[in-house]
Amino acid sequence: MKTCFFTFMILAFIVGCLPKGENPDSSYLPGDSSFTTYATRFDVIPEKGYTILRVFNPWQNSSVSYSYVLGNKQEEVPDSLSALPFIQTPVNRVITMSTTHVAMINALGEAESIKGASGTSFLYDSTIRERHGAGLIKEVGYGQGLNYESIVALAPDVVFLYGVEGNITTAVGKLREMGISTIFCAEYLEPDPLGKAEWIRFFARFYGREKEADQFFNLVDSSYRALQSLTSLVKEKPEVLTGLPWKDTWYVAGGRSFAAQLISDAGGNYIWRDNKSEEALPYDLESVYSRAVDASVWINPGVATSMNELASFDERFMELPVVQQGEVYNNNARMGTGGGNDYWESGTVRPDLVLADLISVFHPGLLSEHSMFFYRKLK
């Protein structure tokens, strides 16, 4: 079971209520890391007998950092670091609050350590779903519906969580009062696809799987860069539209976002590339339509699984040239029985496979033998 994801990899290609002990430190900023190559939201400081992990600005518009000490023996940690949370490693029992965390841990071959998760119905990996079906992974809720009693009963070594806003510190405070160790994760805020994937090196520190993580990431990195080099000299690039409106508002990915970077690396021109934000911004439909008419490819149109469904959201979509030409592709080729989308699970640790799909969409001649993995063309 611990080798299942490595086998897949080879086959595929080759502070409102600040909890005591958390140490917010605004002196560290994203990009300070001397350990990572692409990720800007975490750093690792190895010391003799222990390791310091730092997480930078773990939710949107935050300006704090958190430090944690990992080690086998707490007595080896100097008194000067006694105020920091100590996590004894390797961990054996963890709870995850994101499918991304599940994918990272699964890629390390440590799926059996996951005892609880948030949104278990949205998990895609068959091994993880089987463990949930057998009662080996419990649902722990989310946000205000977090089941604290279940979390305590599971007796986790650590809870991996993330925050969209600063009020996540309230939940962290409650958990720490109950004796539960928590770790902020910020991989979802990384604008670089390889930066997201590099967080596997963060999770590896909790399991003593650093060598496996480095090997995994180096293969993904090499694969991604080799694919990216294929598009470096292309002269004709398609104009690319992304997303789908929600209640008359179209949340457009920023021009420096994860989605924009993937489009650029795949040899496409994102129609909002002049936008300088890393985050999604709300636009009215008319503003998007004014640019959408120039798009030659449309990707990631929300939950749409067919052209008919696309029309059901707004009949005007059928008038767009990109729709009339049938060049609409969604990243929902791998859906679980509960609605989980593997793009948001293993796609995070395999951006090279995502990139290969997009290159085959934008420039079919460059990867003529590639079979799309995460993406499919809507019909």
Query: DSSP readout, 37-96?
Result: SS--SEEEEEETTEEEEEEE--STT---EEEEEEES-GGGS-GGGTTS-EEESS---EEE
CATH domain 223-377 topology:
Rossmann fold (3.40.50)
CA of 71: how far to CAs of 90, 141, 176, in Å?
8, 29, 19
Query: Could you say which architecture CATH assigns to the domain 4-219?
Result: 3-Layer(aba) Sandwich (3.40)
DSSP code of residue 200: H
Specify the pLDDT at position 33: 53
DSSP code of residue 246: B
Q: Which residue has the tokens 């086959």?
A: 11
| pLDDT tens digits, one per residue of 69-119 | 999 999 999 999 999 999 999 999 999 999 999 999 999 999 999 999 999
Distance CA 347, CA 283 (A): 27
R_g of the chain, CA atoms, integer Å: 21
Nearest alpha carbon to residue 378 among 308, 319, 294: 308
Residue 6 pLDDT > 50, yes or no? no
| pLDDT tens digits, one per residue of 159-183 | 999 988 777 888 899 999 999 999 9
Contact predicate 66/184, CB 8 Å: yes
For residue 195, which phi and psi values (nearest 5 degrees)? -65, -40
Residue 22 pLDDT > 60, yes or no? no
Stretch (H or E) spanning 191: none
Q: Which residue has the tokens 């390889």?
A: 194
Return the sign of the alpha-carbon dihedral for residues 223, 229, 235, 239: positive
Reading the block at residue 292, the tokens are 């959408």
Is 223-377 the same fold as 4-219? yes
Nearest alpha carbon to residue 342 among 5, 3, 2: 5
Write down the mean pLDDT value for the chain: 90
CA of 154: how far to CAs of 58, 91, 111, 158, 178, in Å?
25, 14, 16, 10, 12
Q: Which of 141-145, 176-180, 187-191, 332-336 has the lowest mean pLDDT?
A: 141-145
Specify the pLDDT at position 35: 87
Which residues does residue 47 pair with via DSSP β-bridges, in sequence order?
50
What angle in degrees, to the nearest 10, is found between the helix axes of 258-265 and 210-231?
60
Distance CA 278, CA 40 (A): 13
**Mean pLDDT, residues 285-303 taken together:** 94
Cβ atoms within 10 Å, residue 298: 26
235-250: burial string, b at 16+ Cβ within 10 Å, e else: eebbbbbbbbbeeeeb
Helices (H) and strands (E) in the chain, counts: 14, 16
Contact predicate 36/42, CB 8 Å: yes
Pairing of β 328-330 and β 376-377: antiparallel
For residue 207, which phi and psi values (nearest 5 degrees)? -115, -5
Specify the pLDDT at position 60: 84
Determine the longest span between alpha carbons in the chain, in angstroms: 68
Return the sign of the alpha-carbon dihedral for residues 302, 308, 309, 310: positive
Listed by start position, the domains of the chain span 4-219, 223-377
Distance CA 345, CA 119 (A): 12
Distance CA 303, CA 313 (A): 10
**Mean pLDDT, residues 224-252 taken together:** 94
| pLDDT tens digits, one per residue of 184-232 | 999 999 999 999 999 999 999 999 999 999 999 999 999 999 999 999 9
By residue count, the chain amounts to 379
Residue 134 pLDDT > 50, yes or no? yes
